[in-house]
Structure 1
Amino acid sequence: MAKVKITQVRSTINRPKKQKATIKALGLGRINKSVEKENTPQIAGMIRKVQHLIAVEELG
């Protein structure tokens, strides 16, 4: 599977609890923090739910 680099670019202040939990589950929590994850269907679904708070980059 391809890897993706996920970077949080917006704050979770005033966001629903589910979105905050999804950001935490992805391993994020601070603006400009990045993590690398395998692009599985589960991760892709999490990315879609909080796509307005993160930036995603494919890593080949």
Structure 2
Amino acid sequence: MAQLKVTLIHSVAHRLPKQRKIVEALGLHRVNSTVVQPDNEATRGALFQVAHLIKVEEVK
């Protein structure tokens, strides 16, 4: 299964509480923090909700 490298590029300060929770659930804490997540429908849905705050790359 493919993996996705997710990097937080914008702060979650002054964002909606739902967006803050999604970013925290993804394992991102600070700007420029990076995590590797599995590429599945649940992860894609969460990434879509906060697409304006993150950068996503596919890891092979």
- For Structure 1 versus Structure 2, the TM-score category normalised by the shorter chain is over 0.9
1:26 aligns with 2:21: no
State TM-score, norm by structure 2. Answer: 0.97
Structure 1 residue 29: deviation in Å? 1.5
- Cα-Cα RMSD: 0.5
2:38 and 2:45 map into 1 onto residues whose CA distance is: 12
Unaligned ranges ≥5, structure 2: none
Unaligned ranges ≥5, structure 1: none
Structure 1 residue 30: deviation in Å? 0.3
List structure 1 runs of 4+ shifted beyond 4 angstroms.
Answer: none
State TM-score, norm by structure 1. Answer: 0.97
Q: How many residues align?
A: 60
